[in-house]
């Protein structure tokens, strides 16, 4: 499965939102995710892709596209 699809799936499950609403340019604010939702999402991503995302990296992430490109770089 493509990284984007997996990320969308994780976000929609965690925050109970329709995957249709999620696009590359969607921000955390757009989907009402607060800082603890982001922490939870980071945990889910770390488990799913078996990697560790440093705090500095998390701070740079603003959109779903940012997540996807970060992960694609890590697993490439």
Footprint of another protein on this chain (CB under 8 A)? 34-36, 39-40, 42-43, 55
Q: Which of the choices ligand COA, another protein, none does residue 43 contact, using the CB cut-off of 5 to 8 A by kind?
A: another protein
Between the CA of residue 54 and those of 5, 22, 25, 51, 76, what are the distances in Å?
A: 23, 24, 22, 10, 18
Q: How many residues bind ligand COA (CB under 6 A)?
A: 3
Binding segment (CB under 6 A) for ligand COA, from list 9-17, 22-30, 35-43, 68-76: 35-43
């Amino acid at each position: 499965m493509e990284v984007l699809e997996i990320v969308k799936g994780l976000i929609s499950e965690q925050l109970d939102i329709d995957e249709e609403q999620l696009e590359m340019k969607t921000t955390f604010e757009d989907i009402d995710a607060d800082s603890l939702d982001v922490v939870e999402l980071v945990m889910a991503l770390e488990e799913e892709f078996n990697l560790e995302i440093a705090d500095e990296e998390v701070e740079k992430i603003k959109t779903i596209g940012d997540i996807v490109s970060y992960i694609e770089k890590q697993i490439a």
